[in-house]
């Protein structure tokens, strides 16, 4: 992409009404726009990063047998009444609206109910199980506080996967697989070292559920970490003696840290299947309720945590896996036409080699270009100038480390496609 086509502007100063670091950086870099408190738009660079995050998650969900679908955001109250989750007393997050005839509708804050109801048409025999269905879809939640930028918004896309199994044993196998898949997702987006599988309270069916918590000062949660075992407890279970028995963790050895929940996995058992009539015939011909689990990740929250943790005083720093582009090709101003020609040639060759390049082809001062480049956080900056033209090699600067090398076109392509 040519930067002259990118309509977004960078800003030197963060907007005054924005207190969270991730939103300040992402707004300054032109990745997102604040619509109102807790509601953000994704601009082209932000969308590219967001979609990279989705793809990492999608690949890992597909690997464990997940099948993607897309459910509606508008929700039928009748379905939710069956599980007692329509009333505002039971669920305080609903955004509700009305049809012209006065009938109520809701904007989905999660999707256990509609998917379980839908599955009654697909699942009837043990031969139809297990099923692992997931989506990336907007959730609407009337969150009380919305001061954490993309970490807590009132409209956000969630990856939510729901598992439908014959029994607890089949469920547990998948639960472990999904836990491993989550570990791979956080590793791939650069949060492997800072994210801890965390025991949380489990609800009616299982004693514990698991959260994936990333250590971060801007977090709203507190966890207690065993660094050696790379496990943690959340506040709900920290004072419960049974959790120490179950996990072998020792209270005195745990370190307290502020954190952000980037994902969670939950055993639902038969709560939803019984309420919504989702059962199957087993091999003996008996009717048995389907055993369920749910598995959520917030991709924008993930992006926000990466922005918080991996940035520096100059701006964003993306890992290659989720950067909007791999290379920022910065063409410096020059009276020599050859500089522009060289930049165009490099852009063409890199693009043909399948490398995603943002080419700063604008007429602007070098200082402005470098400041924008730092703010964007694209992993490799390649500078084309009169100096590099004379040297026959481009200056290549890694954004994260500042490490600088000089490479010819073929050396650069070799390096990037190795
Ligand atoms: P929290 O305790 O932080 O409110 P939650 O328990 O409500 O999270 P879930 O309903 O299980 O979260 O949602 C699954 C995932 O969706 C979370 O792990 C998180 O990554 C993301 N998520 C939840 N709420 C929000 C939000 N308001 N904005 C952005 N992402 C969110
Ligand atoms: Mg919540």
Tell me whether residue 250 is in a domain.
yes
- Asked if residue 296 has pLDDT above 80, the reply is yes
Ligand nearest to the backbone CA of 264? 1
Ligand nearest to the backbone CA of 38? 1
User: Would you tell me how many other CB atoms lie within 10 Å of the CB of residue 206?
Assistant: 18
| pLDDT bucket at 206, cuts 50 / 70 / 90 | confident
CATH classification at residue 53? 3.30.930.10
Does the model's pTM come out above 0.95?
Answer: yes
Q: Would you state the pLDDT for residue 102?
A: 97
Looking at 284, 310, 336, which one is the last position of a domain? 310
- Asked if residue 154 has pLDDT above 90, the reply is yes
Q: Would you state the pLDDT for residue 290?
A: 98
User: Would you tell me how many other CB atoms lie within 10 Å of the CB of residue 93?
Assistant: 16
Domain co-membership, 128 together with 83: yes
**pLDDT tens per residue, range 363-402:** 999 999 999 999 999 999 999 999 999 999 999 999 999 9
Tell me whether residue 316 is in a domain.
no
- Asked if residue 204 has pLDDT above 90, the reply is no
Tell me whether residue 319 is in a domain.
no
**pLDDT tens per residue, range 216-256:** 999 999 999 999 999 999 999 999 999 999 999 999 999 99
Domain co-membership, 74 together with 119: yes
Looking at 310, 344, 366, which one is the last position of a domain? 310
Nearest CA to ligand 1 atom 26: 152
Tell me whether residue 27 is in a domain.
yes
Cα–ligand 1 centroid distance for 263 (angstroms): 7
Q: Specify the ligand 1 atom closest to the Cα of 110.
A: 10
- In this prediction, residues 45-60 reach a mean pLDDT of 98
Percent of the chain with pLDDT strictly greater than 90 = 97
Cα–ligand 1 centroid distance for 121 (angstroms): 29
Q: Specify the ligand 1 atom closest to the Cα of 143.
A: 27
Domain co-membership, 284 together with 342: no
Q: What is the mean pLDDT of the chain?
A: 97
Residue located via tokens 């004693």: 207
Tell me whether residue 30 is in a domain.
yes
Q: For the chain, how many structural domains are there in total?
A: 2
Ligand nearest to the backbone CA of 185? 1
- In this prediction, residues 274-293 reach a mean pLDDT of 98
- Asked if residue 205 has pLDDT above 90, the reply is no
Cα–ligand 1 centroid distance for 199 (angstroms): 16
Domain co-membership, 39 together with 68: yes
- In this prediction, residues 173-191 reach a mean pLDDT of 98
- Asked if residue 190 has pLDDT above 90, the reply is yes
Domain co-membership, 254 together with 337: no
**pLDDT tens per residue, range 98-131:** 999 999 999 999 999 999 999 999 999 999 999 9
Cα–ligand 2 centroid distance for 109 (angstroms): 10
Cα–ligand 1 centroid distance for 83 (angstroms): 21
Domain co-membership, 298 together with 338: no
Q: Would you state the pLDDT for residue 203?
A: 72
- Asked if residue 212 has pLDDT above 80, the reply is yes
Q: Would you state the pLDDT for residue 119?
A: 98
Site to probe by mutation for ligand 1, drawn from 195, 259, 264 as the one with most ligand atoms within 8 Å of Cβ, is: 264
Domain co-membership, 179 together with 149: yes
Q: Would you state the pLDDT for residue 44?
A: 98
Cα–ligand 2 centroid distance for 179 (angstroms): 20
Range of the domain at 376: 327-417
**pLDDT tens per residue, range 253-269:** 999 999 999 999 999 99
Domain co-membership, 370 together with 235: no
Residues lining ligand 1, Cβ inside 6 A? 110, 141, 143, 152-153, 156, 158, 261-264, 296-298, 300-301
Tell me whether residue 193 is in a domain.
yes
- Asked if residue 169 has pLDDT above 80, the reply is yes
Domain co-membership, 217 together with 357: no
Cα–ligand 1 centroid distance for 409 (angstroms): 45
Tell me whether residue 321 is in a domain.
no
Domain co-membership, 178 together with 256: yes
CATH classification at residue 364? 3.40.50.800
| pLDDT bucket at 159, cuts 50 / 70 / 90 | very high
Tell me whether residue 385 is in a domain.
yes
Domain co-membership, 192 together with 92: yes
Domain co-membership, 291 together with 347: no
Looking at 310, 345, 366, which one is the last position of a domain? 310
| pLDDT bucket at 49, cuts 50 / 70 / 90 | very high
Please report how the helices 44-63 and 299-310 are oriented relative to each other, as an axis angle in degrees rounded to 10. Answer: 110
């Amino acid at each position: 992409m040519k930067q002259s086509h990118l309509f977004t502007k960078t800003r030197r100063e963060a907007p005054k009404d924005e207190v969270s670091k991730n939103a300040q950086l992402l707004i300054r870099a032109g990745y997102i726009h604040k619509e109102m408190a807790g509601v953000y738009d994704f601009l082209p660079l932000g969308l590219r990063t967001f979609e990279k995050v989705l793809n990492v998650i999608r690949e890992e969900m597909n690997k464990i047998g997940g099948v993607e679908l897309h459910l509606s955001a508008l929700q039928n109250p009748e379905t939710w009444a069956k599980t007692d989750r329509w009333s505002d007393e039971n669920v305080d997050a609903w955004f509700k609206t009305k049809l012209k005839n006065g009938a109520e509708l809701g904007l989905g804050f999660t999707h256990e109910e509609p998917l379980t109801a839908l599955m009654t048409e697909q699942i009837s025999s043990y031969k139809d199980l297990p099923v692992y269905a997931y989506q990336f879809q907007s959730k609407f939640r009337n969150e009380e506080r919305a001061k954490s930028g993309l970490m807590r918004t009132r409209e956000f896309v969630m990856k939510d996967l729901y598992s439908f199994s014959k029994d607890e044993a089949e469920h547990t196998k998948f639960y472990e697989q999904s836990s491993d898949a989550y570990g791979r997702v956080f590793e791939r987006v650069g949060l492997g070292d800072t994210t801890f599988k965390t025991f949380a309270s489990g609800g009616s069916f299982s004693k514990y559920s698991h959260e994936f918590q990333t250590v971060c000062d801007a977090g709203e949660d507190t966890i207690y970490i065993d660094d050696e075992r790379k496990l943690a407890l959340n506040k709900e279970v920290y004072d419960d003696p049974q959790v120490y028995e179950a996990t072998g963790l020792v209270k005195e050895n745990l370190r307290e840290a502020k954190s952000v929940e980037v994902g969670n996995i939950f055993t639902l058992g038969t709560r939803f299947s019984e309420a919504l009539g989702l059962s199957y015939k087993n091999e003996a011909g008996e009717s048995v309720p389907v055993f369920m689990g749910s598995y959520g990740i917030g991709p924008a929250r993930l992006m926000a945590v990466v922005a918080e943790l991996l940035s520096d005083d100059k701006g964003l720093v993306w890992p290659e896996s989720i950067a909007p582009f791999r290379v920022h090709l910065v063409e410096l101003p020059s009276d020599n036409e050859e500089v522009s020609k060289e930049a165009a040639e490099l852009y063409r060759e890199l693009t043909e080699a399948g490398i995603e390049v943002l080419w700063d082809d604008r007429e602007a001062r070098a200082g402005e270009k470098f400041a924008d480049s730092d703010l964007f956080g694209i992993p490799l900056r390649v500078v084309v100038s009169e100096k590099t033209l004379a040297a026959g090699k481009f200056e290549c600067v890694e954004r994260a480390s500042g490490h600088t090398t000089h490479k010819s076109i073929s050396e650069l392509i070799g390096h990037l496609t190795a």
